[in-house]
């Protein structure tokens, strides 16, 4: 079955009513036929029929043995971090979503987990960071927001040789463009709020495990901590995923066109998009993915230009988040990565001139026209 077909049909067979769309089971609890027998569902914190369909769908799309649907992307990250114990060491990418860094520093490190940050695009840095107590590497590719690309096959081989897990946040590319488990990763994480749902109307997150052992551990954490996705939200995600392939193609079309257009603007210093052949990660991306996604970062000539551009755009919206049908322009240093120190931002290339663009599914010409009028008014 092709990916696009799975997006529509991998939720499983219709129920006894023949309904084309799955039912929304809002019940918090489920009756048992008799002592010792169950319908397969008992309490919605543990499992729910609507959410179970979504989890089957996500596991199928990512090629994992099991998926879990959480109430947010950060709840999914937190669940994965609960796999580790005080004294464990984790290597993380130098450039990650700011909320992941906030969790690692303020909660996990306080509880005794040790972290080392590296540029995961540089294999020598990863090898140098490995310790006897290293249990995992946590990375994004492309990274948020500087679009650094890492070789997942090579990193997975290093991890295998040194007996630690590979955890990949696949939010930016989704399984439509990139399948980390097939490239050697052990766990995939998503902020499903973004491309998977795709309409800026649901907060959710996912984990997908490659092995049953890890899947069982994550499911225990899931039902114990209770940060689970509700049935109505699960239904909305199922509906959103049906159009994932169509949306991702339009996101990518818009991103490439805008990246090439932005390169020609006098007030733009540089553009970061893996689909540009001059991007340092272009070859690796082309080798391990089937597409380049819809995310662009670019730097303008001054902080004032960045501020004015955020004010002058009309069709494109100045807002956090990404991956929805609407195009969004974000100012990472003041929004998504505001918890980092100025020194950390500078080291990562997150300057007060850097903007991050999530291209929506609008007509390409309209997005270019919006930027044209915004730049013209500066």
Residues marked active site are found at 45, 97, 169, 194
Distance CA 24, CA 21 (A): 9
> Nearest CA to 61 among 151, 180, 165?
180
To which H or E segment does residue 224 belong? helix 212-225
DSSP 102-120: HHIIIIITTTT-EEEEE-T
Phi and psi at 139, nearest 5°, equal -150, 165
> How many CA atoms are closer than 13 Å to the CA of 6, on its beta-carbon side?
16
CB 78 within 8 A of CB 104: no
Give the span between the Cα atoms of 189 and 119, in whole angstroms.
Answer: 19
Side-chain half-sphere of 172: how many Cα atoms within 13 Å? Answer: 30
Alpha-carbon distance values, 6 to 39, 52, 61, 266, 322 (Å): 26, 16, 7, 44, 24
């Amino acid at each position: 079955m092709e990916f696009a077909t799975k997006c529509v049909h991998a939720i499983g067979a219709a129920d006894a009513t023949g309904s084309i769309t799955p039912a929304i089971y809002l019940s918090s609890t489920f009756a048992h036929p008799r002592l010792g027998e169950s319908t397969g569902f008992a309490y919605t914190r543990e499992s729910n029929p609507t959410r179970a369909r979504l989890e089957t769908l996500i596991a199928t799309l990512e090629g994992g043995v099991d998926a879990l649907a959480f109430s947010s992307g950060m709840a999914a990250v937190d669940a994965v971090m609960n796999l580790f114990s005080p004294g464990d060491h984790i290597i993380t990418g130098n450039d990650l979503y700011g909320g992941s860094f906030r969790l690692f520093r303020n909660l996990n490190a306080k509880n005794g987990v040790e972290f080392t940050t590296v540029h995961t695009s540089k294999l020598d840095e990863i090898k140098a960071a490995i310790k006897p107590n290293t249990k995992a590497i946590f990375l994004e590719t492309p990274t948020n927001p500087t679009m650094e690309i890492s070789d997942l096959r090579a990193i997975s081989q290093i991890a295998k040789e040194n007996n630690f897990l590979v955890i990949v946040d696949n939010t930016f590319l989704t399984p439509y463009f990139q399948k980390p488990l097939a490239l050697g990763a052990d766990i995939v994480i998503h902020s499903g709020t973004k491309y998977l749902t795709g309409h800026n109307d649901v907060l959710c997150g996912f984990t997908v495990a490659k092995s049953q052992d890890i899947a069982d551990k994550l499911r225990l954490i899931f039902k114990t901590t209770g940060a689970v996705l509700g049935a109505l939200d699960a239904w909305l995600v199922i509906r959103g995923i049906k159009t994932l392939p169509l949306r991702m193609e339009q996101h990518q079309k818009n991103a490439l066109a805008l990246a090439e257009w932005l390169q020609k603007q006098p007030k733009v210093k540089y553009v970061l998009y893996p689909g540009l052949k001059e991007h340092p990660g272009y070859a690796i991306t082309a080798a391990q993915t089937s597409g380049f996604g819809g995310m662009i970062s670019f730097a303008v000539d001054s902080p004032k230009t960045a501020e004015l551009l955020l004010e002058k755009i009309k069709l494109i919206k100045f807002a956090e988040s990404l991956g929805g049908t609407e195009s969004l322009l974000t100012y990472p240093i003041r929004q998504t990565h505001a918890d980092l120190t100025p020194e950390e931002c500078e080291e990562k290339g997150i300057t007060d001139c850097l903007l991050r663009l999530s291209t929506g599914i609008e007509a390409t010409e309209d997005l270019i026209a919006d930027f044209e009028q915004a730049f013209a008014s500066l």
